Structure 1
Amino acid sequence: MLDTHCRKYINPIIERTAKLFIYLGFSANKITILAFLVGMFTSVMIYCNTSIVACTLLWISGFLDSIDGAVARITKSSSSIGTLMDIVSDRVVEIGIILAIGIINYNVRLELIILTSTIVISMTVFLTVGALSVHKGVKSFYYQAGMMERTEGFIMFTLMILFPKYLSCIILIFALFIIITVFQRINEARKILN
């Protein structure tokens, strides 16, 4: 939701930063790798119980994740392999965060399994609709908007990291929001795929 509706406000910052990275010689794929490494280091910081550092790295990773696509568009170097790298690295970072939280908070492992299951279902719908749709957006595939997009996920992960006392409740709310998004995307898919 926020990614779709707020992108126009943040886009000038993303574009300027993308041009800086291009000037420094970074390709889109190199930025994807950098975003992935920063994102994975987030999990290490969660495990080390350094919440503020973990959250900071998470958001830096997310910002870099938006830069790689801008670099690809500006340099006209968008590729299927770049899209694959981006989507897979995003999911691996999320799994790393979930695993790190689960390792240090054994009492919420069931809730984390539920959350992971909802993410799998949501991504299955998202990617299937993207693959089946003839529509193309700004990205290299059809991007279905929904209640839970990347920014909302980062907000929920941030809350999970910063407020471990309420972890179970935050995780279940996160999972509920993802399920609502699944139904939104299925409803939209029924319209665009018919």
Structure 2
Amino acid sequence: MLDSRIRPLIDPPLNAIGKRMARAGITANQVTLTGAAIGIGAGVAIGYRYYLLGLALLLLSRLLDGLDGAVARATRQSDFGGYLDIVGDFAFYVAVPLGFGFAVPVNLPYAMILIASFTLTGISFLAYAVMAAKAGRETDAHGKKSFFYNTGLAEGTETITAFVLMCLLPQYFTVIATVYAAMCVITVIQRTITAKVDFP
């Protein structure tokens, strides 16, 4: 919901840093894989109840997730890079709730529900992207991407906000997870309705 509005604010500084990284010989795929590994590390830290460390790793991971595209734009964007990016994103989206599920046993059912909702959201996102590619549709609302990005109530910005709140207020994980899982389900419904209209 907020990604396309935040993009114009964060892209200029990210692109400037990305150009410097590219000049230093750092590749976009290296940044993607490093960000994904750190994101998984955030989930591990959270699983051991090091919530503030998890928060720091989480934020660093998302910074790198933004920088990989900036490095790619400064060098060469590739379909394989887009593939790595989306796989890395969903590895991160699974790792953080899983960490909370391991941290406190009562969290586990809610973590599983949240992961299930992420799975549905991811499927709806990718299915729409496939249909949009077949129809030759393009959009730059979320920056230049390898996939067509269809908007919804729950996007990257909202997910990171929910994860930050979970790390800062871990005692409220079950409440935050429940609310955000519901937002994900609404997003799937939104995309399904949009797909029905756009691809009759």
1:4: how far off?
1.2
State the TM-score, normalized to the length of structure 2.
0.91
Residue 20 of structure 1 corresponds to 20
What amino acid is the match of 2:186? I
Offset of residue 13 of structure 1:
1.0
Q: Give the equivalent residue in structure 2 for 1:91.
A: 90
Cα distance between partner residues in 1 of 2:6 and 2:164: 19
Matching residue of 1:176: 182
**Is this contact kept in 1: 2:52–2:168, CA < 8 A?**
yes
Task: Tell me, in whole angstroms, the C-alpha distance in 1 between the residues paired with 2:41 and 2:109.
Answer: 24
Q: 1:50-61 to 2 correspondence within 5 Å?
A: 50-61=50-61
For residue 135 of structure 1, what is the amino acid of its counterpart? R
CA contact (8 A) 2:41 2:57 kept: yes
What is the distance in 2 between the residues matched to 1:14 and 1:60? 13
Structure 2: any 5+ residue segments left out of the alignment? none
2:146 is paired with a residue whose SS is: coil
**Contact 2:48–2:103 (8 Å) recurs in 1:** no
Aligned pairs for 1:1-194 (under 5 A) are: 1-75=1-75, 77-133=76-132, 134-137=136-139, 138-194=144-200
Residue-by-residue CA offset, 1:115-164 (whole Å, 9 max, x unaligned): 11111111111001101112123211211111111121011111122212
CA distance in 2, matches of 1:90, 1:25: 23
The runs of 4+ residues in structure 1 deviating greater than 3 Å are none
Residue ranges of structure 1 left out of the alignment (5+ in a row): none
* Number of matched pairs: 193
Counterpart CA distance in 2 for 1:146 and 1:83 is 20
Distance 2:31 2:117 in 1: 28
Q: Aligned partners of 1:102 and 1:120: how far apart in 2?
A: 17
SS at 1:166 equivalent = helix
Q: Over the residues paired in the alignment, what is the CA RMSD in angstroms?
A: 1.3
The residue type paired with residue 193 of structure 1 is F
Provide the secondary structure at the position in 2 that maps to 1:144: coil
* Distance (Å, rounded) in 2 between the aligned partners of 1:54 and 1:73: 29
- Quick one: distance in 2 between partners of 1:172 and 1:107? 13
